[in-house]
Structure 1
Amino acid sequence: MQLKRQAIVMASAMAATFAAVESAAAHPHVFAEARLDVILSPDHQSVKALRHLWRFDDLFSSTVMMEFDKNSDLKLDDKELKDVADTVHASLAEFNYFQLVTVDGKDVAMTPPPHLMANFENDQLIILFESEPKQPIKLSGKIDIGVYDPTFYTAIDFTEDSNITVEGLPSTCTKKVVRPDPDEAIAENQKTLTEAFFNDPTGTDMSKIFATKLELNCPPEG
């Protein structure tokens, strides 16, 4: 049971197996390609939900397969997939499911997704879930939406700008995908980056400054 949890924590909490071995190494060990669909309300005036899909790398996916394939048939049945989803769901809870959502630079509270879905496709683990803001996010001001791992152990990457979408955005709003340059991000945030960040960034929440995100800019209300 502990090995099972560690296998998933490598991709979600990220502090189990590898942290014990390489506590000072601030680089990813698990990789995932992501898609994020921003769902607007029916009147297209607020963000209603975020729909996430993460496709994990072959090595991590094979690790999950070995840990959860209880009948050793080299595939995961519905119950085994549910065990994977439930374990990931529990592990991600304290990290807000790796979500970055801000309005004018202030964090937006998100409702935890009630459940996740897990699947295997072409020998790769796929995790899907949908979350909603606790209060509707009005399309006003600057809204940033993305994905990041605060522990630096997982690299969740949008390989194409088209993998972050929003349909039906009002014509008064603009959108763009922002991919921060690491050196520029550090320079711009020098005053807020503490010595602890440079010694062990996994102990901070500043990895969000490196996250790829969708930036929406809409006229302020009033």
Structure 2
Amino acid sequence: MHLTKRAAILASALAMVLGSSAPVRVHPHVFAEARLDVMLNPDKTVKSLRHLWRFDDLFSSTVLMEFDKNADLKLDDAELQDVSNTVYASLAEYDYFQLVTADGKDVSMKPPPTLIANYEADQLIILFESEPKEPLKLTGKVDFGVYDPTFYTAIDFVEDENMAVNDLPSTCKRSVIRPDPDEAIAQNQSNLTDAFFNDPSGTDLSKIFATRLELDCQAEG
């Protein structure tokens, strides 16, 4: 399902729960198509996550207008660095939108040492790489995803192949989980309070809608 269509379904599902009083800010305003590459060490622990986000034309043009200081309708190196610094600082309090769990428990990630912004074919592209704070072994169920806890940005993976693992061990099975918005809301109805919809950033529940790469790994015998 294409990103914008899936985001629209999510917004519609939320509106059905809330009724006509749903605040506008729970609907995504910015859309990005993503790629995630899980890089492994020789011992099959997770080395890093490599992220690439390609933003929609409307948001990208807004960035161009805001950061094109010399008004030449392009972003030079200095202007792109300003974009990088702004995005880097903005994402810091949200752990760079990363979702990583091992057997259902959150895995802490180091902040990326740097973030790169490019502007190609009228689209803003963001790239960064981050590492687990502690060694992360591929045992049991390990999940990786990207989500904005404020619901302002919809970041999704158009193709399952856009969530990849380099040299996936034979002891692991890979699957891409795309939660159905209606089912996710129904399963978590008791936790979706008015406070969540009035201020999604005050909760961690928006992760229930995130597309996830799930690795189900058995111990080597």
Q: TM-score with structure 1 length normalisation? A: 0.85
Does 2:41 match 1:41?
yes
Q: Which runs of 5+ in 1 are unaligned?
A: 1-21
| Local SS of the residue matching 2:73 | coil
Counterpart in the other structure of 1:147: 146
Amino acid at match of 1:204: T
Moved more, 211-220 or 144-153: 211-220
Amino acid at match of 2:30: V
Counterpart in the other structure of 2:171: 172
Q: CA deviation at 1:191?
A: 3.9
Structure 1 segment 67-216 matched on structure 2, within 5 A: 67-216=66-215
User: Aligned partners of 2:49, 2:29: CA distance in 1, in Å?
Assistant: 26
Counterpart in the other structure of 1:13: none
User: Aligned partners of 1:201, 1:151: CA distance in 2, in Å?
Assistant: 5
RMSD of aligned alpha carbons: 1.7
Q: CA deviation at 1:203?
A: 2.9
- Contact persistence 1:50–1:132 (CA under 8 A): yes
Amino acid at match of 1:164: M
Amino acid at match of 2:154: A
Q: Which runs of 5+ in 2 are unaligned?
A: 1-21
Counterpart in the other structure of 1:14: none
Amino acid at match of 1:40: L
User: Aligned partners of 2:155, 2:107: CA distance in 1, in Å?
Assistant: 20
User: Aligned partners of 2:24, 2:199: CA distance in 1, in Å?
Assistant: 6
- Contact persistence 2:150–2:199 (CA under 8 A): no
User: Aligned partners of 2:26, 2:202: CA distance in 1, in Å?
Assistant: 10
Counterpart in the other structure of 1:32: 32
Q: TM-score with structure 2 length normalisation? A: 0.86
User: Structure 2 vs 1, CA of residues 192 and 80 (structure 1 numbering), >3 Å: closer, same or farther?
Assistant: same
Once the two structures are superposed, residues 37-84 of structure 1 have per-residue CA deviations (whole angstroms, 9 ceiling, x without a partner) of 0101123x2111000000011111111111111111111111110110
- Contact persistence 1:26–1:202 (CA under 8 A): no
Amino acid at match of 1:31: F
- Contact persistence 1:118–1:125 (CA under 8 A): yes
